[in-house]
Every structure is written in C-alpha cells, then in structure tokens.
Homo-oligomer: A and B are copies of this chain.
Amino acid sequence: MIDATLRSLERHGREGASIRRISAIAGVSSGLIHHHFRSKARLIAAAYESLAIELQETLYRESADHGGSPRERLSALIRASFAPSILEPRILNVWLVFWSMVMRAPSMRAVHDRTYRRYRSILGRLLQAVGRSRGVRVRARPAAIALSALLDGLWIELCLSPGTFRPTEAVMLCESWVDALCGGALPQLLQPRKRRS
C-alpha cells in the first residue's frame, strides 16, 4: 500500500498524492486506505519515512559492499548517490511532494528531522573515519552538513535538467571536496589542534 503511494507519486507527481489514484494502483478501494491510515496525511507521512529509510539503507549497503577502506566506502556512497537508479527524475517528484508538506504539517517535519539526522550521522561517521585514516581530525557535524548539501544540490539539479552536466561530473565535484577536506584545505571543518586562551 505504501509502495503504491510511492509509485503514484513517481508517476503523477504532485497530483499523484490522491487517495483515489493510490487506491487504484494498489488495487484496493479508497475506503480501505482510510481504514488503515486515518487520513491521507498519515499515509503520506508513512510513505515518506519508508522511502527515506530505504534510500539510506541502499546507500549504506552500497557503501559497505564496495571497498574496505573508509575512503573507498565513501567513494562508493558518492557514486551510488548518482547511480541511474537513484538519479531517476521521477523520484524527485516524490521528494518535492514530501518537502512541500514538511513546511506545513508538523508530523512531516518530525519525519524529516529524524531521517535527516540519521543521514548526517552516517555521513559524519564516514567522513570522520576517512579523516582519521588520513591523519586529520574531521568535525563530523559541519562536514556532514556540507557534503549532504553538496550531494543534494547536485542531485536535484541533475534530476531537474539532466542535460546540464553529467553524473560523473557530480561525482568528481564531491570527491574533490572530500580530497580538499582530507588535505586540510578546509581548516574550519577540522578539530583545532590546540586551544588558545
């Protein structure tokens, strides 16, 4: 049923967030959805959390499968973020609907905050591990915020108009940022070595 919601949002975008369309795709009646989820908003929120967690697990699995070193795992995660299956412009439709509800429904905001904190936590730990193996102490929080923003910004633009630049360029831009971080070129994202009084 949640899968049907996501598929409807993929196919019809903003107008796919309709009980009738979703129930048609799911092959059930419209009343049944109101029986299980008490309102449309709760259904959308459940679908939101489901998609966010599934996406993070996909990225995390890709990261864990490829490469042993932290740097290789991070590279795998970056590449996976711009893989064709993730990059499908249809999926942006889904996120746009979700984000537009985050602004209005407090329950949606709660889902967003929770899943995004998890996402930053994954990125932060990975960045810290990469830094440790390169001899720099990375401040996980701001580094994760920057990398997630870079990933998201590139991903959104790639979905909006795929012809502007190529996915490999997006990967390169992220890798360059990580290299600069490990090379100490982003000193404000590293732990200060010494405290001055």
Whether the pair A14, B89 counts as a contact (CB closer than 8 A) is no
Q: Say yes or no: is A142 at the interface (Cβ < 8 Å to chain B).
A: yes
Output the nearest chain B residue to A120 by Cβ-Cβ distance.
B164
Given A100-B97, A150-B153, A152-B156: A145 in contact with B161 (beta carbons within 8 A): no
In the complex, chain B residues whose CB is within 8 Å of the CB of A177:
146, 177, 180, 186
Contact with B along A102-118 (1 / 0, CB 8 A): 11100001001100100
Whether the pair A14, B100 counts as a contact (CB closer than 8 A) is yes
Interface locus among A19-27, A63-71, A165-173: A165-173
Q: Say yes or no: is A54 at the interface (Cβ < 8 Å to chain B).
A: no
Number of interface residues of A (CB under 8 A): 50
Given A93-B100, A161-B116: A180 in contact with B169 (beta carbons within 8 A): no
Q: Say yes or no: is A37 at the interface (Cβ < 8 Å to chain B).
A: no
Whether the pair B160, A102 counts as a contact (CB closer than 8 A) is yes
Whether the pair B96, A173 counts as a contact (CB closer than 8 A) is no
CB<8 Å pairs between A and B, sample of 21: A14-B101, A93-B100, A96-B96, A96-B103, A99-B156, A102-B161, A113-B164, A116-B164, A142-B172, A145-B157, A145-B165, A145-B169, A146-B176, A148-B157, A149-B152, A149-B157, A152-B152, A152-B156, A153-B156, A173-B189, A185-B186
